Structure 1
Amino acid sequence: MTTTTDPAPVPDLAALQRRAAARAAERAGGTDRLRGHIVCEGLVRIFKTEGVEVFALQGLELSVDRGELLAIVGASGSGKSTLLNILSGLDTPTAGVARVAGQDLLGMSARDRLNYRRRVVGFVWQQTGRNLLPYLTALENVELPMRLAGRRRGRLARDRARELLDLVGVGYCADRRPAQLSGGEQQRCAVAVAVANDPEVLFADEPTGELDESTAAEVFGALRTINAELGVTVVVVTHDHAVADQVRRTVAIRDGRTASEVRRTARTASDGSTETVSEEYAVLDRSGRMQLPAAFVDALSLRDRVRLNLEPDHVEVRPGQEASGE
């Protein structure tokens, strides 16, 4: 006779956040070093093509706490992928401040940048074929970054690779090559590869963009596990609202600047249950500038200029009206 047991309950968002913060504090050596793990101030990136300058980032401001799981959203061309490439060391900013785990990304030499990509950060691409070498097994793919960086060799590397594959739920794929894996299995293996060298930050560029809803949930579950169990700061660029809704903070980028962010907090309802409450904020930069949500602008037909009225506890924004005779 066989018996069945109920599956273990999935921790809620608040519990995962607390666990991630605790792991991050352990990595940092204390809670006093939890803030400002990623800092961008006045970040600018200009691309020049045939004499034409394109501003991909226009003074972007961003701060991410150590151990945070953050989603970045934005329309195509908003600058979110450019930001991710800069923070991961794949691109160089034109001006401003960009620091990750205490590393100054503007002042790095080519050698420092290579070491930064190998040891400080991990990266997961949207295209599954870019994350894994096709002629290596999943286990060998996870081992490879450790061997290249000289962090672990032999049995130590193999044992650590198996641990990471188990952690993201694909331990059974250890001896399979990428062609023998589904898209979701490939992406979860890619997450294990990205954290093989114990990075402080993991970046993921649309990691669920080519997956169906249920498979995408499994991949994002792997990212949440890495964040909660290892204390790794995770930054995900995504168009998937189902993913963005599962993180504490979602930052929206528009026209190369941080435009708004949604913060989610767990609150206890009157019946004792826990509910997640979302609040949206406009982002105010150091110069006092902010972007009004496009829906607000359209609803009030705001154009060219607006009137501001300072009240005791808020600022009114009204449509501008030309004086008669002008």
Structure 2
Amino acid sequence: MAAPDLATLQRRAAERAAARAGGTDRLRGHIVCDGLVRIFKTEGVEVFALQGLDLVVDRGELVAIVGASGSGKSTMLNVLSGLDVPTAGIARVAGYDLLTMSPRKRLTYRRHTVGFIWQQTARNLLPYLTARENVELPQQLARRGRGAAKRAQELLGMLGVGELANRRPGEMSGGQQQRVAVAVAVANNPEVLFADEPTGELDEATAAEVFGALRTINAELGVTVVIVTHDHSVSSQVRRTVQIRDGRTSAEVRRSARLSEDGVEELITEEYAVIDRSGRLQLPATFVDELALRERVKLTLEPDHVAVFPGQEK
């Protein structure tokens, strides 16, 4: 079966954006995690990498996931991309239940529904194939060989590396390799693209080019994009940044543009703490340190807010 051309995909993306519901139900969304748990066992010791993580991403969103090393963000990405299996909870992407998925369906899911980009450029491309051949390969594996060469060239051109079609990875810069990797990841027209530190090995200017490629895929093809990153220049350019701490979503930053009274466009940035389904929230570490909050705190309910006070030690 031939893959649709880019013009068709762009039209579909526009239609999806126009029809996007954006409901309030916490279990609605293109990507849904609800009480997601992932436990690893090492030498008889259980390690909770994800401890009841909640996350909803709507179709067509471009979201950055941030957090310290060991916070659980890469584990979450591996679960959602089908590379790992959750221990408990809900993990659903594009209607697929990742907890109950059979091995055969998991392979189909990874081949057709999601794309993935690794931080290490060498993991994304086969060194003995040209850029065009690398983009054609996943289409051939998915039995979409007809039109594969044309689609490969179109994708490479869209991402600004069309002139590299006949070069092998060793003949490209790191940034060029990652842009080709983006083309490989979306070769089979996935609904969702996951990227794990895609700019982690690149300088600032080159990282901007790779992020631009991800934005292009999101805007032009309507692909939902989730980026795990430590790069502030990336996380600050998306409308929504989600922070993960200790295996749970702890905070969100949302950015929006509005016109001032003078007619000048202003960027509005608002930060929120996240309340999970059990009513728990994590206070920012800076707040905890500044007020020396330890073990217990006092809460008082005011007409329009909740006040938090340090507990008095006896």
Which TM-score applies when normalising by structure 1?
0.90
* Equivalent of 2:244 in 247, 253, 260: 253
Which is worse superposed, 288-297 or 267-276?
267-276
Distance 2:144 2:251 in 1: 40
Pairs within 5 Å for 1:43-192: 43-153=36-146, 156-192=147-183
Residue in structure 2 matched with residue 15 of structure 1 by the alignment: none
Aligned CA distance change for structure 1 residues 136 and 22 (closer, same or farther; 3 Å): closer
Deviation string 1:82-132 (CA, Å, 9 cap, x unpaired) is 000000000000000000000000011111111000000000000000000
Q: Distance in 1 between matches of 2:10 and 2:224?
A: 10
Q: Please give the alpha-carbon distance, in whole angstroms, between the structure 1 residues aligned to 2:15 and 2:129.
A: 34
Q: 2:186 aligns with which of 195, 214, 218?
A: 195
Q: Secondary structure at the match of 1:258?
A: strand
Structure 2 CA distance for aligned equivalents of residues 127 and 321 of structure 1: 50
Equivalent residues, number: 302
Aligned to 1:216: 207
Bigger Cα displacement from structure 2, 24-33 vs 125-134: 24-33
| Structure 2 CA distance for partners of 1:249 and 1:181, relative to 1, 3 Å | same
User: Runs of 5+ in structure 2 lacking a partner?
Assistant: 1-8
Matched residue SS, 2:262: coil
Say whether residues 1:264 and 2:255 are aligned partners. Answer: yes
Does the CA contact (< 8 Å) of 1:119 and 1:149 recur in 2? yes
Q: CA RMSD in A?
A: 1.7
- Is the contact made by 1:124 and 1:207 (CA closer than 8 Å) also made in structure 2? yes
- Structure 1 CA distance, aligned partners of 2:273 and 2:233? 22
* Correspondence for 1:299 among 272, 285, 290: 290
The Cα shift of 1:271 comes to 2.2
In structure 2, the partner of 1:275 is 266
CA contact (8 A) 2:17 2:222 kept: no
Distance in 1 of aligned mates of 2:97 and 2:208 = 34
**SS of equivalent to 1:151:** coil
> What residue in structure 2 maps to residue 5 of structure 1?
none
- 1:227 matched residue in structure 2: 218
C-alpha contact (below 8 Å) 2:175/2:210 kept by paired residues: yes
Offset at residue 134 of structure 1 (A): 0.3
2:22·2:58 contact (CA, 8 Å) conserved in 1?
no
* Contact 1:23-1:67 within 8 A present in 2 as well: no
8 Å contact kept, 1:23–1:229: no
Structure 2 distance, partners of 1:280, 1:28, is 25
Residue 26 of structure 1 and its aligned partner are, at CA, apart by 2.5
Determine the C-alpha separation between the residues in 1 that align with 2:283 and 2:270: 15
Residue 157 of structure 2 aligns to a residue whose secondary structure is helix
Once the two structures are superposed, residues 140-187 of structure 1 have per-residue CA deviations (whole angstroms, 9 ceiling, x without a partner) of 00000000001232xx11000000001111001100000000000000
Q: Aligned residue for 2:6?
A: none
SS in 1 for 2:244: strand
Where does the alignment leave 5 or more consecutive residues of structure 1 unmatched?
Answer: 1-19
Q: Is the 8 A contact 1:39 1:63 kept in 2?
A: yes
**Structure 1 residue 29: deviation in Å?**
9.0
Q: Per the alignment, in what secondary structure is the counterpart of residue 271 of structure 2?
A: strand
| Aligned counterparts of 2:61 and 2:194: Cα–Cα separation in 1 | 12
CA distance in 2, matches of 1:246, 1:77: 24
- Deviating 4+ runs (over 6 angstroms): none
SS across alignment from 1:45: strand
For 1:301 and 1:234, the matched residues in 2 are separated by 38
Per-residue deviation at 1:270?
2.5
Structure 1 residues 38 and 22, CA gap change in structure 2 (3 angstroms): farther
- Which of 300, 306, 309 in structure 2 is aligned with 1:315? 306
Query: Matched residues in 2 for 1:33 and 1:159: separation?
Result: 35
Alpha-carbon spacing, 1:145–1:33, altered in 2? closer, same or farther (3 Å): farther
Structure 2 CA distance for partners of 1:252 and 1:44, relative to 1, 3 Å? same
1:290 maps to which residue? 281
**Contact kept in structure 2, 1:86 and 1:93, CA below 8 Å:** yes
What is the CA–CA distance in structure 2 between the aligned matches of 1:42 and 1:124, rounded to whole Å?
Answer: 26
Q: Which amino acid aligns with 1:119?
A: H
* Post-superposition CA distance 1:61-83 (Å, at most 9, x none): 00000000000000000000000
